[in-house]
Chains A and B, each alone.
Chain A
Amino acid sequence: MFINPEVPLESLPGADNLDWLPLHPRFVRRLQLGALLRVLVIGAIATVAYFLMKGGDSAALGRFADSLLPFALAGFGLFAASILIWPMIAVPRRGYVVREKDILYKTGVLWRSVKAVPFNRVQHTKIDSGLLDRRFGLANLSVFPAGAGGHKIRGLGTDTAERLRVYVSERIEAEAIEPEDDQNSPLPDPQAEASAAHENGPPADAG
């Protein structure tokens, strides 16, 4: 029998005062290195474009390029400085919490968001790490619920990510809702399973 006792709102576990776990300390360096590479590539392209305009036949184009140069330099400097410094501001404000029933992730400096995904809704998880991530010993953990956008927690230590993934997978198993759960039959009954299957399908495919 399905029971659903009333729970007073005040006693609900709140997600306001949590100890947010920080990302890996090397993650800032990794983002800065990525930003530096991007700055170098964009700078190289801009330089090539400048010299192409300068060296072309049209004198007007050359003058145009010269007139553009201070703005371009200033803008580029600002851009480079901001994307180099930004990780130092943004990364400390990110964080995650793993609770028994869900996983929370917060991001954002100006526009902040806190997102929670219950484990019993997670369809699958993924770990990926790019070239730069591996160089710094980092990995990204993604958690996907059905349809909705899940978490992509970037900048975890490789072992942390792996442990988290294992934990999340365990929690998914533990929290998985059995189809026809509310009929308390601990013994697997093939016929009940069959009828459940034709109603609900295995949870793994139904996503």
Chain B
Amino acid sequence: MVFFLGTTARKIVDGYGQVAATVGVTAFLVRNPEYAALVITIGSVALLTVAFLRYWCFRFRIDEDRILIREGFLRRTELDLPYERIQGVNIQRRLTERVLGLVTVVLDTPGSIAAEGQLPTVKPEVADRLLERVATHRHGLVAGGPPTVTDAPPESGERPPAAGDVQAAVTDRHSFRGQGRVLQTLTPADLVRMGLAHPRGLFLLVLLAFLGSRSDWVKDTTLKAFGVARSAVGGLGALETTLVATVLVLGCVVLSRAGGVAAAFRNYHRFTLWREGRSYRTRAGLMTEEEVVVKVRKIQMLRLYQNLVQRYFRRYRLETPTIGGSLEDDDYESEGLDADDLEVPWADDALVEEMRSGVFRGEGEQLALLPTDEAFKSVSPYYIRAAALRFLILGWLGGLLVLYVSTWISLVYIGSDALAPEDYIRLSRGLGFAALVWGGVCLVTALPIGWLRWRRHGYMHDDDGIVCRSGLIGYEVEACLFRKTQAVTVKQSPLQRRHGLATLDVETSTGSVTVPYIDHGVACRLRDYALYRAESSGRPWY
């Protein structure tokens, strides 16, 4: 009872207390500005005190077989983490830490998404010592453990990573170059290209290309669009206005591209991907350098994306969702840093192949991830009809909604009394015309879009896994192994039932591979097979 009272009260205080305090202090300052200096002093002293106390109370000890972390002044917490439970030791360096030559050590443990233990801003030597301890501990385990552990054949493979990997990483930690085989490093030129492919600016780029091909039309539109600006500036001729407009549009494009490039640099500066024993490791980042380590075994599926610009450069974005990364936050208490999914943002064909065979490790040898692969089987052409219909209905409904809302807004804005009957007629005519045009556009584009989608759709499977390709302009490829299946669904719409088709949905713990419009019998057989593989697999899926 007391516990619940306490937690409830704390929730309320956490939620509203901060707001109330901020508002209160602000109000007080507004009323009595002469106390501002005092408040600021008190505030900074309090801040310093709290920071110092937290620093003072943060203690950790690296023991033979465990690490102890004690922190907290009022509410003391003590974390006792045996090395056995540590899955990975990740290292992060924020900008300030890099200036000071320090690192933050994040200890990954199984069972929680949030990294449990964190040693903020410690010297690299401490990190080294910890890594060494963890490594030697593992080493001791492996050496003294039952012979089956070391004798396990590689394909049954769920044994601890060779201690050598970790130790090698330790010895090389100072130079901050990882060990293992380097699979990819990104150069600044790659980053610039990547920035260009950033989806945010893609639309503008397309728009620019379109505008460039219609220069007359550009002049007219920009003249109209910037009529307001012209009247404001006054005196400027049509030529100047066009110039201004072009500069504006160009500026937007350049800005968005620059933003994309900057984002690419921020996230992926000095991006390096390693293969270390049974895990992949990436390190990247301009300000905060971040390392992500993902064990191959934990990877549930592979997702590959390619948009237009990436297609031009023949590059892909590859994601490896793992079980921890995608679970809802509220399922677990997540404090501290989230365990991240590993992402390869700019992979070429060879790297994609390498990652595929590395992640599936001897399984799914006949699967291909590259969207242009010949082995993809197309889905039933009835899919075109369904996709077109869906596009049409969605488009019309969306149009109706926009029409309704805009009518409503304009009526409210103008005021219904101020309108003469002929205005009403003109307004409704205009709206009706717009609706007709939109409906027509939807009608005309529905079939081509359906056809495009159908052409992008494809699937393949072998004895171990299934791959599905989809997309409209770019590509999206999803692949998973049957033995990592969590649930399988076979769905049928009325249209599919009439033609003996079905949609197969193979769900893993991080999303599903959905194959639409394949033969119902094939879907059922695949479902039975996936279930059989999942149910007979003696290997853990996580």
Contact = CB atoms under 8 A, between A and B. Distances in A.
A189 interface: yes
Interface of A: 1-2, 7, 9, 12-16, 101-102, 108, 110-121, 145-150, 175, 177, 179-183, 185, 189, 191-192, 194-195, 197-203, 205-207
A175 B537 CA distance: 10
B538 A205 contact: no
B539 A177 contact: yes
A112 B511 CA distance: 21
Sorted from nearest, which 6 A-B pairs have the closest CB atoms? A201-B110, A205-B111, A147-B509, A148-B507, A198-B84, A148-B486
Interface range for B:
35 or more
B149 interface: yes
Pick from A13, A102, A146 the residue with the most CB of B within 10 Å. Answer: A146
A83 B226 CA distance: 53
B411 interface: no
Interface of B: 83-87, 109-112, 138, 141-142, 144-146, 148-149, 152-153, 155-156, 158-160, 300, 323, 326-327, 485-494, 497, 507-512, 524-525, 527-529, 531-532, 534-535, 537-542
Contact of B111 (A111, A121, A206): A206
B534 to A, nearest CB: 5
A112 B192 CA distance: 48
B148 A200 contact: no
A194 B84 contact: yes
A117 B487 contact: yes
Nearest to B534: A118
Contact of B152 (A121, A183, A194): A183
Contacts of A113: 489-492
A129 B144 CA distance: 52
Contact of A145 (B146, B486, B511, B527): B486
A201 B87 CA distance: 9
A189 B527 CA distance: 37
Contacts of A195: 84, 141-142, 145, 149, 159-160
Nearest to B151: A183
Given A101-B535, A146-B323, A118 B485 contact: yes
A147 B326 CA distance: 8
Contacts, number: 179
B85 A115 contact: no
Given A1-B153, A113-B489, A116-B527, 10 more contacts: A2-B539, A14-B524, A111-B491, A118-B487, A179-B540, A181-B538, A191-B145, A198-B85, A199-B160, A205-B110
B491 A112 contact: yes
B486 A146 contact: yes
B540 A115 contact: no
A14 B486 CA distance: 18
B533 to A, nearest CB: 10
30 contacts: A2-B538, A12-B532, A14-B524, A15-B531, A111-B492, A112-B492, A113-B489, A113-B491, A113-B492, A117-B486, A118-B534, A121-B487, A121-B534, A121-B541, A145-B507, A146-B542, A147-B508, A175-B535, A180-B149, A189-B146, A191-B141, A191-B144, A191-B145, A191-B146, A192-B146, A198-B86, A198-B87, A198-B141, A199-B159, A201-B87
A177 B538 contact: yes
Contact of B83 (A114, A115, A198): A198
Contacts of B538: 2, 177, 181-182
A102 B146 contact: no
Contacts of A206: 110-111, 323, 542
Contacts of A15: 524, 527-528, 531
A148 B480 CA distance: 14
A1 B146 CA distance: 15
A14 B521 CA distance: 11
A121 B484 CA distance: 9
Contacts of B537: 120, 177
Given A113-B490, A205-B112, A206-B542, A149 B507 contact: yes
Nearest to B85: A198
A121 to B, nearest CB: 5
Contact of A194 (B141, B159, B534, B540): B141
Contacts of A185: 146, 148
A67 to B, nearest CB: 16
A120 B484 CA distance: 11
A170 B438 CA distance: 58
A15 B525 CA distance: 9
A149 B487 CA distance: 8
B539 A181 contact: yes
Nearest to A143: B487
Given A177-B538, A195-B142, A12 B529 contact: yes
A15 B488 CA distance: 11
Given A12-B529, A206-B111, A114 B138 contact: no
A199 B507 CA distance: 24
